[in-house]
C-alpha cells in the first residue's frame, strides 16, 4: 500500500503547501512567548480542521509552515482562517504589547501571503529549507 497518499471516499491525494505569513509593517514581534503562542495556535487550528503541520519556524517578522491539507480545502481559506484566529488570540493575550505597535486597528499580519505547492519534492527537503530560513 502506498502511504504517500491520503484516501477519502473516491479521492486519492497528497496536497502540501509551504506558506509564509509576514507581520504587518514587518514589525519584529515573532519572538519569545508571542512566537511560541503563534506556533501553538496554528497547531491547534490544524488539529481542529484536519490539517497536518509538517514543519514550522518563525523569524522575527515572519513565519514559515509546511501544511498537508484535504482536497476539498482551498489555500486562500486556510490562510484566512490562520490569520483571523491567530490575530484574535494574540490581541486577547497581548493587548498591551500590540496596542503600542498597531494603534489604529487590531491587526497583526500583512495583507498578503506566500504559498507554494511542493509537488513531488520530498517533505524532508522542504523541512530543511524552512529550518534554514528560521
Write out the catalytic residue numbers: 129
Grid cell of 10 as nine digits: 473516491
Sign of the torsion angle spanned by Cα atoms 107, 72, 7, 125: negative
Q: Which residues contact 82 (CB under 8 A, 6 or more apart)?
A: 19, 21, 42, 45
Helix (H) or strand (E) holding 53: strand 52-58
Amino acid at each position: 500500500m502506498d502511504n504517500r497518499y491520503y484516501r477519502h471516499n473516491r479521492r486519492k491525494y497528497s496536497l502540501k503547501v509551504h506558506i509564509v505569513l509576514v507581520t504587518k509593517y514587518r514589525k519584529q514581534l515573532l519572538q519569545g512567548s508571542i512566537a511560541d503562542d503563534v506556533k501553538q495556535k496554528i497547531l491547534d487550528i490544524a488539529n481542529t480542521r484536519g490539517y497536518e503541520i509538517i514543519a514550522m519556524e518563525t523569524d522575527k517578522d515572519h513565519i514559515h509552515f509546511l501544511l498537508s491539507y484535504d482536497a476539498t480545502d482551498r489555500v486562500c481559506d486556510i490562510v484566512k482562517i490562520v490569520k483571523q484566529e491567530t490575530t484574535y488570540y494574540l490581541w486577547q493575550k497581548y493587548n498591551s504589547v500590540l496596542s503600542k505597535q498597531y494603534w489604529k486597528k487590531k491587526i497583526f499580519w500583512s495583507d498578503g501571503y506566500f504559498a507554494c505547492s511542493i509537488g513531488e519534492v520530498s517533505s524532508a527537503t522542504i523541512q530543511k529549507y524552512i529550518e534554514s530560513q528560521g
